[in-house]
Chains A and B, each alone.
Chain A
Amino acid sequence: MFLFNYAYRLKCILRNRELMFWTLMFPILLAILFNLAFSNIYSTEKFIKVNVALVQNDALTANPAFSDALSKMDDLFVVSQTTLEEADALLKENQIDGYIIFDPELKLKVNRSGLNQTIIRGFLDDFLQSSATLVTVISENPAALESGTIAGVYSRTDYLSAVSASKSSPDTTVHFFYTLIAMTCLYGGFLGVNEVIAIQANLSDVGARINTAPTNKLTVFLSSMLAATTIQLAELLLLLAFIVGVLGISFGDQLGYIALACVIGSLTGVTFGTFIAATVKKSEGIITGILIGSTMTMSFLAGMMSADIKYLVATKMPILGYLNPANLITNSFYALYYYNTPTQFFINILLLCGFTLLFSATTYFILRRQTYASL
């Protein structure tokens, strides 16, 4: 009976187009939309090198130190060696942000003000200041040249250094994909609702027919749940494969833990649906509405629409984060991606297991009542 019902429930779920859309296609579409929305998020912050022309003349030849200093700034400038006429033409056509000329003093010519022009100006000022300092030091204390203390004039010392607490570089966009996975896990609730409705005599006609048959209701329910969880897990893996393989979002490299998070997340989602369907004594439409509403609220609080909300919950009301399965699933993936130890991951997984047990036990105690007060 267990396998017989399992096979038929798999067929029913796979052929239910509406169910398959919301639990598989909708998350994939959202993933594509997220990817489109976030693909340009860093392009505005990406540094583009400053185009600058250096006019070749005798004065420049007499100051080789400047050419040398400029050539060392290749991560900041793209330098073109030009004649004065060529530099003017390039500036006119906006091919360069400005040009530098020794005439005979060091000069900068630009045709507008902006960040790039300020960068060139800053470099020139720094060069001039350092040069003046060196000239002063050498003229007043030539011994400094030999003692090496003069090196401090042009060397730069960083007194702060960035140390990463994680093994991966911070990326705020992955968080949105983790909440999407969490939402998909909880959308497994649709499958849970579907299975409870199919076996409850007060919720469906087929449920009434099944209840008149000589079969153990718990056996039918457990095999239906297994079918729902199988589909949910398969859908989740497809979504993960799409996000990782097609969209290129990283989930870390701990495949065993990722699989565990998917299994527990799927179970939490499916049992959440059965819990709602078993406890809400209303029509299928109202049950579905409550499921969608609660899932979206949990995803919102987990930061799916804005990462600030997640931060707000974590700082102002942290308990809410621990009571939110969507947040726990999100944090599980987050922990795998960022942290070097699995402690945080397992805390989240244990809390999810607790929710799964709570949902399952409540559903069981309600469903085991095999007669109804009304149909």
Chain B
Amino acid sequence: MMVINVKNLVKRYGDLIALDHFNLQVQEGEVLGLLGPNGSGKTTAINCILSLLKYDKGSIEIYDQPMAPDAYAIKRNIGVVMQNVAVFNELTVYENIDYFCGLYISDKQTRKKLVAEAIDFVGLNDFTKFLPKKLSGGLLRRLNIACGIAHKPKLIILDEPTVAVDPQSRNSILEGIQKLNQQGATIIYTSHYMEEVEQIASRIAIMDKGKIIAMGTNEELKRMIKSGEHINLELLNAEDLDLEAIKAIPDIISAELSDNQLVVTSSRGKNNLIVILDQLKAQHIAIGKVYSEPPTLNDVFLEITGKELRD
């Protein structure tokens, strides 16, 4: 079942085109990672989908119904975790979750149960009476998530929920998101951290300049590009290296020397390790460590746009 169907969405801020004929389809039960550098249009797309922002052109359907500010039946099934922590500083952890859950669930007893489950889910049991200002950055992010998911939505939209979060809390958040998906929720997860998206997304959409420039599973995306694995070699006498001779090896896309680290990228499906080692031996270059890395989403982004994902 199609959960979200966005067609030809155009959003302009004056002369700037924030979304340029943006299309997105999300299937029920999947975790869609929306990956792109800062300013690529991820948050704008999310805000349009949530009917927070006006858009100039296009259509948005959620659960086969047109999305609108007063589409309360649709909104009832959506949970949102904003990029910025959106809680009331005057309310305790418990009260914040109860308040935002109460915007969806009016029955007090049901809400009490859901709030307790949300607190348990994000691991804030010891902090229920704390005010937000007493929480660390990681705990605050967890509270932000609890406020968005306490009402058990079928569709959860998380907009960069791990910004400025320590690694331990980040792992906890990512595990939580996977658990929500296992419980049946469809998830849209925006981030500019490719590792996060690779870790949790069943399908990835890469955005740049308001458009989706590539979409598929992690493997599908990496198969779209011609570069294959990166071979990293530590050279003990790098000053004697003839780099041009390495670059001349067939199927080598690039060879770069930085300090004593040589990074050689081969075409996809080609393994040049033996040839490279032979060439280095011929040049009397002593080798320290050798390891290889598979291509990353950054390589995908780099090859499609000509720039780094984190530029």
Contact = CB atoms under 8 A, between A and B. Distances in A.
Interface string A345-372: 0000000000000000000000000111
B87 interface: yes
Given A206-B87, A370-B69, A371-B52, A213 B95 contact: no
A205 B54 contact: no
A22 to B, nearest CB: 15
Contacts of A210: 103
Interface in A261-292: none
Interface stretch (B78-86, B178-186, B232-240): B78-86
A198 B80 CA distance: 17
A101 B95 CA distance: 87
Contacts of B88: 8, 12, 198, 206
B47 interface: yes
Contacts of A11: 90-91, 95
A213 B104 contact: yes
Interface string A1-12: 100100010011
B52 A213 contact: no
Contacts of B259: none
Given A209-B82, A371-B69, A15 B90 contact: yes
Interface in B85-139: 85-88, 90-91, 95, 99-100, 102-104, 106
B80 A212 contact: yes
Interface residues of B, number: 32
**For the complex, would chain B's binding face be called helix, strand, loop or mixed by DSSP majority?**
loop
A209 B99 CA distance: 11
A43 interface: no
B275 interface: no
Nearest to A1: B106
Interface in A185-209: 198, 201, 204-206, 208-209
A162 interface: no
B100 A370 contact: no
B53 interface: yes
Interface in A1-58: 1, 4, 8, 11-13, 15-16
B102 A4 contact: yes
Contact of A209 (B51, B70, B80): B80
B50 interface: yes
Given A371-B52, A375-B53, A205 B99 contact: no
A370 B47 CA distance: 12
A208 B86 contact: yes
A371 B106 contact: no
A205 B103 CA distance: 15
B80 to A, nearest CB: 5
A211 interface: yes
B4 to A, nearest CB: 14
A317 interface: no
B84 A212 contact: no
A252 B86 CA distance: 48
Given A201-B52, A206-B86, 5 more contacts: A205-B85, A205-B86, A213-B75, A371-B69, A372-B52
24 contacts: A1-B102, A8-B99, A11-B91, A11-B95, A16-B90, A205-B85, A206-B86, A206-B88, A208-B52, A209-B82, A212-B75, A213-B103, A213-B104, A214-B76, A214-B104, A215-B72, A215-B103, A216-B70, A370-B69, A370-B70, A371-B52, A371-B54, A373-B53, A373-B54
